[in-house]
Structure 1
Amino acid sequence: MRPFLFSLLIIFSCSFSFAQKKLIVLGDSLTEGFGVAKEAAYPAVLEKKLHEAGKKEWTVINSGVSGSTTASAVTRMKWLYKSKPDAVLLVLGANDGLRGLKIEDSEKHLAEAIEYSQKQNVRVILGGLYMPPNYGAAYTGKFKKMYESLSKKYKLTFIPFVLDKVGGNPKYNLADGIHPNEEGHKIIADNIFQVLKGEL
């Protein structure tokens, strides 16, 4: 009887631990998976890669909303954090840049989101983005530096460019040249996984 009870305890403990950790991916249409199936968007692919690597306790929640800017981050977090996540991957700013919004405002919004998360004891992983070169060297350079500065200031796990090998490559994007196709999402998931596999 005792061995049987012990086995049940082990099974229960393993099942319980596997369901305990949540990673929210807070982003815009790039995260939502505009133009591809939900299961083909990079958060779903990332979860699969984590599970294949033995990190089955992690659930990755796709919280991408098309059109979102950095200004929406804290408001969305206040709602999403009711589910008690363990970590958030913050991938916002693309729409700010494409609309030519002031980088100072974008940085302020991201800083507020990071500080809010840290106060809630939710670990922040920051995903960096670049702007196309046609926006001018001054703007693109300042935009890139924004993420680097925030990651250093708040001592965050940092993915310098989540769209590495995908951004600007027609092979991995839809016809609009902005949103990744399924193959692009696979590469993005791998870019993120290569950083997180030793961190989570």
Structure 2
Amino acid sequence: MKSLNRYNPIRSYTILRLSLFLLGVIWSCDSGENQSSTNRPRKPAGTERTYTQQAAEQPTDERVILFYGNSLTAGYGIEPAQAFPALIGAKLDSAGYHYKVVNAGLSGETTAGGRSRIGWVLRQPVSIFVLELGGNDGLRGIPLTATKQNLQAIIDTVRAKSPEAKIVLAGMQIPPNMGPEYTSRFRELYKELATENNLALIPFLLEGVGGVRRLNQPDGIHPTPEGHKIVAKNVWQVLEPLLENDTES
């Protein structure tokens, strides 16, 4: 992936759009957490909590793929069925894979918040765990050591509760608002965690979507259903090799 730190006029515009996109996620997610679920647009946050409750409260012998993240996973501003985890579920069905997809995204989530609720979410074992957190940390300038420690703690908890689970880490990038060193180190943090823990890595979850106007909603900051289709493709490229095809069983 090309670095976001090099400057030219075209990339400058892309970085600006990505900045607006990611900053908007934080603003809308923070405000969304202070609203009742009935006041949220299309109730994405309320829906995500229901998915989380299902993951924790309904024992199942099915193979489960759990998507654990923030508003990008939750599908803020669109119908739950249009968010990339649901699109992955549809792809699994059409391809003959027997997995249940659980969306445990929570708008406004940071790595610290994710660390605090991971034990509750993982009351039942999972087969594949997709970890999408850290973007909100980066935009808030949270120390990278804290972000990495929180992500590592989540990974450790998954392995303790579901030792056989395969873990996929969704990489994130941020605009250079915090300075080039922080931006670069933030990007590399995901590569380091993936290498140190032998995880499957999605290099950049929003590849092909961040900063692209036509793939964002009218507010210019949240992916459209078309944008989520591209995100789903980014995820599928890494996820599919980890799947077990049991259509003959």
State TM-score, norm by structure 1.
0.86
Which residue pairs with 1:164 in the alignment? 207
Correspondences of 1:51-130 after superposition (within 5 Å): 51-55=93-97, 57-120=98-161, 121=163, 122-130=165-173
SS at match of 2:168: strand
The CA distance in 2 between the partners of 1:74 and 1:97, in whole Å, is: 16
SS at match of 1:194: helix
Asked if residue 191 in structure 1 is aligned to residue 234 in structure 2, the reply is yes
What's the C-alpha RMSD, in Å, of the aligned pairs? 1.4
Using the TM superposition, name which of 95-104 and 152-161 deviates more.
95-104
State the percentage of identical aligned residues.
39
Deviations 1:5-53 (A, max 9, x none): xxxxxxxxxxxxxx62001100001111111001001100011112222
The CA distance in 2 between the partners of 1:143 and 1:38, in whole Å, is: 29
The CA distance in 1 between the partners of 2:119 and 2:192, in whole Å, is: 24
Which residue pairs with 2:85 in the alignment? 43
Question: Which of the two has greater strand per residue?
Answer: 1
SS at match of 2:78: coil
Deviations 1:51-83 (A, max 9, x none): 22221x111111110110001223322111113
Rg bigger for which structure?
1
Give the total of aligned pairs.
181
Structure 2 unmatched ranges of 5 or more: 1-60, 244-249
2:75 to 33, 45, 50: 33
State TM-score, norm by structure 2.
0.69
Asked if residue 181 in structure 1 is aligned to residue 185 in structure 2, the reply is no
Contact (CA 8 Å) 1:50, 1:193: kept in 2 or not? no
After TM superposition, give the deviation of residue 139 of structure 1 in Å. Answer: 1.6
